[in-house]
Amino acid sequence: MPTRTPGLKKLLASLTIAGFAFAFVASIATVAEAQKKSKSTQNEAEWIAYDAAAKTVTVKITSTGKGPNKKLLKKGKEATLNVIPEGSILTRTSVAVNGVKGDITDISAGKTVNIYWVPDPKKEGELFARKIDVIMSEEELDARYGAGD
């Protein structure tokens, strides 16, 4: 069996450590990029329509976004986002009307919504709406809960 010199052992140990360090740094960069893609961006928008056949919603952006992808949607422009209207709470687009669970079909044109979205992980270049919160007007709140009671 050949014997190794002490210098060769140190070189192999250094290369091994460098390889592990490189793999570790590469995995951290990948995780950071995945987290950036998975963190939602929020926009306030006017509800235009829900297309059940295409499983998309169309909104008109009324305020600039908050989140990692805020530059993708512009104020005053329409945006179409993919949705999953039913299924597991972990995978579907959730809808809340004034904080109470609602259905995507409950939203009428012209309503103000907060829409939380990410780049669609299944369709390159498209957007996916994770959550939609319907904002009720003062008049709707008064009618529902009684004004000045």
Q: 101 to each of 20, 92, 97, how far by Cα in Å?
A: 47, 13, 6
Per the prediction, the chain carries an average pLDDT of: 84
Asked if residue 146 has pLDDT above 90, the reply is no
Percentage of residues in the chain having pLDDT higher than 70: 76
Most confident of 2-6, 44-48, 100-104: 44-48
Q: Which of 41, 44, 70 shows the shortest CA–CA distance to 59? A: 44
Q: Which residue has the tokens 């512009």?
A: 74
Q: What is the pLDDT of residues 70-107, one digit of tens each?
A: 999 999 999 999 999 999 888 999 999 988 999 999 89
Between these two residues, 119 and 143, which has the higher pLDDT value?
119
Query: What pLDDT is recorded for position 137?
Result: 83
Q: What is the pTM of this model?
A: 0.71
User: Is residue 65 predicted with pLDDT exceeding 60?
Assistant: yes
